[in-house]
């Protein structure tokens, strides 16, 4: 039947991909004006053969299949299938996907995963002071302000005091900049990286994130505590509660604690008393969590529970009072155990750009990248803030011919960059214009480097070139085979009917029987049914006539006591029919559960050909095989081909 297209192409590519064999340029096969090397054939053969046990016959047999494949591809090219828009678009789509692994630095990917894992093994506690960068303002002002604050800290002023005084983090007023404990992926990547590079007590240089500039102080570092699962009972303290209410809630939580200690069920108490309704229905159980996921007081108390099943004393947090029960705990795990989860998190995090940035740096070196910042600076003078509205009008660029960057054999002028700015502009967030143009310039350089690299992948990487050739041939093979064999076999009703008539003896029914099974509720009814079944064999009663007679013999007219099944059976269709002798007539009663089955063999049916409808699936599959054989025969007649036996003999 017709194969799923993508599956067919993937099967082809998997089958015809092998990169461990060194290329050999000796010509093994010539088909028309096409020459196929020994190396190309070997890659395919070794992938699909048990090389250790291969003999010359298996090589030659496989060569015949290979010739058939190449003939089909050549025919597709002769028909121009490789020039169609749909083919080019499809191959281009596959190429984009196949190119992705070549456009990242695999070593950098591994490094960033290892870095994340190493950080996962440590919990940090740090304080910070945030200096926001106001929208549209100059970042230099914020940076200089951060430097002055750092200078005060280095001179010995109290971090908490300064944080409360100058930090733009709203929580600083209450916590003095203390962020509590955190671990990898819980802070933005630049902040996290700066924190993990500090020693305890050390003050960082200003660190820029999307929130502004941060000054960090590392206050503690400890081995990661892993994750825990707890249940809790919470009594919430309402906002603006009176002291009387606060005291009453405290009394209630300590009363609950006493009940737990006296043996009352934690789960039931959570269901009836906890104000956290989301967890209360589950007996207070919360999802697994690790460092930095809960308010500090809750986290400290939860991690402080020593044994699974133990319950804490009441703990007060900003939400109210809690009683915590430890359900389970687990360690971080090995790198191999958490690698998949790390990859998922990295992809969602800004650090995913690391391998791209690393590759860009490598490409700049490889292709001798140079830039001219002086000539680039001229471009900044002609761009105004209307570009943030997508309404900037680019000036005439005929005099903007100076080169602003180059690599390999590519040169990019001021005009090239201006045209890109004008074409790509859209309404966007306002930032300092100088920063915006610098960002656009860097993005332009990166895009051009990666586009260039992608364009020469076939030249740089033999494995990519082979893979693209195989996808090229696979798509063509699918398209032409679908048209010539698969779809034709389904739609060519006249050809299918003719093929069936010429080969009908290949689609035979085995010997069958026309039989009736009468399932009766008891032996008394079965005895009466047996007489009716015997009469039916002689007089030919219909199923409806038999049903009317069954009503008469039923003790309760409202409840039919007999089920009748008339059917043609093959061997294996029904255990009861298989158990009786296949001769015309009534058979001994068969007990089935608490019922009695009367069996009548009405007619023996000798082996007969199946109709086309009865055997359509098999006939269609065989017709496809027939069409393909005829097609290959016609291709072998159409195209001359020659095998170099001497080269073939060297493939072992």
227-330: which CATH topology?
Chitinase A; domain 3 (3.10.50)
Supply the pLDDT for residue 156: 94
**How many Å apart are CA 243 and CA 37, to the nearest integer?**
90
| 593 CB-contact burial (10 Å; exposed 0-12 / middle 13-18 / buried 19+) | exposed
Q: What is the pLDDT of residue 53?
A: 54
Q: Cβ(231)–Cβ(305) under 8 Å?
A: no
Alpha helices in 262-412 (DSSP H): 266-273, 277-280, 296-303, 335-347, 354-366, 373-380
- What whole-number distance in Å separates Cα of residue 193 and Cα of residue 207? 10
Distance of CA 397 to the CA centre of its chain: 46
Which residues, 6+ apart, have CB-to-CB distance to 40 below 8 Å? 23, 28
The low-confidence residues of the chain, meaning pLDDT below 50, are: 1-3, 13-23, 51
Domain ranges of the chain: 1-78+463-508+610-652, 122-223, 227-330, 367-457, 512-605
Fold agreement (122-223, 227-330): yes
Whole-number Å distance between alpha carbons of 642 and 645: 9
Percentage with pLDDT > 90 across the chain: 75
Nearest 10 degrees: CA dihedral of 43, 44, 45, 47? 80
pLDDT of residue 487: 92
Structure tokens at 603: 């007619």
pLDDT of residue 109: 84
> Which pLDDT score is estimated for 435?
87
- Predicted confidence (pLDDT) per residue in 95-128, tens digit: 999 998 898 888 888 899 999 999 999 999 999 9
CATH of domain 122-223: 3.10.50.40
pLDDT tens-digit series, residues 354-387:
888 889 999 999 999 999 999 999 999 999 999 9
Structure tokens at 264: 């009352």
Residue 54: predicted pLDDT: 53
- CA–CA dist 196, 519 (Å, integer): 79
Whole-number pLDDT of residue 319: 92
Question: What share of the chain in percent tops pLDDT 70?
Answer: 93
Residue 146, sorted as left (phi over 0), alpha (psi -120 to 50) or beta, turns out to be alpha
């Amino acid at each position: 039947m017709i194969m799923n297209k993508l599956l067919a192409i993937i099967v082809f590519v998997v089958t015809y991909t092998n990169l461990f064999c060194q290329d050999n340029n000796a010509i093994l096969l010539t088909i028309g004006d096409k020459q196929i090397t020994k190396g190309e054939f070997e890659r395919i053969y070794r992938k699909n053969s048990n090389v250790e046990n291969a003999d010359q016959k298996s090589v030659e047999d496989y060569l015949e299949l290979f010739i058939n494949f190449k003939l089909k591809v050549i025919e597709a090219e002769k028909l121009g299938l490789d020039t169609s828009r749909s083919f080019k678009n499809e191959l281009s789509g596959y190429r984009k996907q196949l190119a992705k692994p070549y456009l990242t630095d695999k070593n950098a990917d591994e490094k960033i995963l290892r870095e994340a894992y190493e950080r996962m093994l440590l919990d940090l506690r740090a304080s910070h002071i945030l200096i926001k960068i106001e929208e549209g303002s100059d970042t230099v002002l914020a940076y200089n302000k951060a430097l002055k604050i750092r200078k005060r800290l280095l001179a010995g002023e109290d971090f908490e005091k300064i944080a409360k005084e100058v930090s733009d983090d709203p929580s600083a007023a209450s916590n003095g900049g203390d962020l509590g404990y955190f671990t990898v992926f819980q802070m933005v990547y630049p902040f996290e990286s700066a924190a993990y590079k500090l020693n305890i007590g050390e003050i960082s240089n200003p660190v820029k994130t999307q929130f502004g500039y941060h000054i960090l102080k590392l206050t503690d570092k400890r081995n990661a505590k892993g994750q825990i699962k707890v249940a809790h009972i919470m009594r919430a303290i309402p906002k603006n509660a009176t002291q009387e209410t606060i005291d009453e809630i405290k009394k209630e939580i300590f009363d609950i604690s006493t009940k737990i200690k006296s043996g009352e069920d934690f789960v039931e108490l959570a269901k009836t008393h906890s104000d956290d309704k989301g967890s209360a229905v589950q007996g207070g159980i919360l999802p697994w969590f690790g460092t930095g996921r809960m308010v500090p007081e809750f986290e400290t108390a939860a991690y402080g529970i020593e044994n699974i099943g133990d319950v804490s004393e009441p703990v007060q947090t900003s939400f109210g009072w809690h009683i915590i029960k430890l359900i389970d705990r687990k360690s971080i795990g090995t790198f191999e155990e958490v690698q998949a989860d790390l990859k998922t998190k990295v992809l969602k995090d800004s650090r995913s750009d690391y391998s791209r940035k690393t590759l860009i740096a490598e490409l700049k070196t490889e292709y001798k990248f140079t830039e001219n910042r002086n000539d680039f600076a001229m471009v900044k003078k002609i761009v105004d803030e209307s570009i943030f509205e997508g309404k900037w009008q680019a000036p005439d660029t005929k005099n903007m011919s100076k080169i602003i960057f180059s690599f390999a054999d590519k040169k990019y002028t001021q005009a090239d960059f201006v045209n890109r700015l004008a074409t790509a502009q859209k309404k966007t967030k306002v930032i300092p214009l100088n920063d915006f143009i610098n960002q656009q310039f860097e993005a332009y350089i990166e895009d051009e480097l990666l586009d260039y690299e992608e364009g020469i992948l076939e030249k740089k990487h033999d494995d990519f070139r082979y893979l693209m050739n195989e996808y090229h041939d696979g798509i063509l093979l699918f398209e032409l085979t679908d048209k010539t064999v698969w779809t034709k076999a389904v739609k060519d009703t006249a050809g299918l009917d003719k093929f069936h008539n010429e080969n009908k003896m290949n689609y035979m029914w085995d010997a069958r029987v026309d039989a009736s099974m009468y399932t009766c509720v008891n032996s008394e009814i079965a005895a009466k049914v047996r007489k009716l079944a015997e009469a039916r064999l002689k007089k030919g009663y219909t199923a409806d006539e038999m049903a009317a007679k069954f009503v008469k013999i039923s003790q309760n007219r409202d409840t039919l006591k007999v089920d009748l099944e008339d059917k043609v059976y093959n061997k294996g269709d029904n255990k009861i029919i298989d158990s009786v002798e296949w001769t015309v007539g009534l058979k001994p009663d068969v007990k089935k559960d608490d019922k009695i089955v009367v069996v009548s063999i009405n007619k023996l049916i000798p082996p007969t050909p199946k109709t086309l409808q009865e055997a359509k699936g098999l006939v269609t599959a065989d017709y496809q095989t027939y069409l393909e054989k005829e097609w290959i025969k016609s291709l072998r007649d159409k195209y001359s081909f020659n095998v170099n036996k001497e080269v073939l003999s060297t493939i072992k």
